[in-house]
Amino acid sequence: MKRIFIVHGWDGNPEEGWFPWLKKELEAKGFEVSVPQMPKPSEPKIEAWVPHLSKIAGEVDEDTFFVGHSIGCQTILRYLESLSVDKKVGGAAFVAGWFTLMNLETDEEKEIASPWLTTPIDFEKVKQHTKKFFAVFSDNDEVVPQENKRLFEERLSAQIAIEHNKGHFSGSDGVTELPIVLEKILELAK
């Protein structure tokens, strides 16, 4: 059975925004879908989130897929980087993923984001586990600069899409369905 793990973002939760819709749609197509609650979502830490995803995912194979939102994308990349070289996964879709951020307002936000922004990721290791990457960005995201589109293309050879007026794809932006992600996951899973 094909399995999918949807990893929410900073301050997110499994019931937010488009996650319940995507879970329902994928389950209707025969996927086993998990949307885990990540540890301390208001204070995401690499050393807590990556092992948590690893524990939840368990044994992975080419029928295992990942969807991340915002810092959840970073979590997935760092998780893939940590896998042993013989492990393969089916692919990953990134929603509002980032390697650079803008408009961080408080010192606390900057402190939380800093390790995620400065701890290197070995993209060659990440690509050993799958070549199927998709990333979607919004043309009016106030947190994720457009340069991230180019970075996902360069670093992962990701297929890219730009959605219009979706903000940061959060529930607070009113995004409750995300058909492009459903469509791309189904493509990746063929």
pTM over 0.95: yes
3-state class (DSSP) for residue 93: strand
The pLDDT score that the predictor gives to residue 163 is 97
Distance of CA 84 to the CA centre of its chain: 20
Secondary structure element (H or E) that encloses residue 52, with its range: helix 46-57
- The residues that bridge with 151 in the sheet, in sequence order, are none
Average pLDDT over residues 22-38: 98
Cα-based angle 163, 81, 124 (whole degrees, multiple of 5): 80
3-state class (DSSP) for residue 117: helix
Contact between 20 and 48 under an 8 Å Cβ cutoff? The reply is: no
3-state class (DSSP) for residue 65: strand
Task: Indicate the domain borders of the chain.
Answer: 3-188
The CATH architecture of the domain made up of 3-188 is 3-Layer(aba) Sandwich (3.40)
The pLDDT score that the predictor gives to residue 83 is 97
Average pLDDT over residues 121-143: 97
Q: Is 79 exposed, middle or buried (0-12, 13-18, 19+ CB in 10 A)?
A: buried
Contact between 121 and 152 under an 8 Å Cβ cutoff? The reply is: no
3-state class (DSSP) for residue 12: coil
Contact between 161 and 133 under an 8 Å Cβ cutoff? The reply is: no
The pLDDT score that the predictor gives to residue 115 is 97
- The predicted-structure confidence for 51-90, as pLDDT tens digits, reads as follows 999 999 999 999 999 999 999 999 999 999 999 999 999 9
- The predicted-structure confidence for 152-190, as pLDDT tens digits, reads as follows 999 999 999 999 999 999 988 999 999 999 999 999 999
Contact between 102 and 145 under an 8 Å Cβ cutoff? The reply is: yes
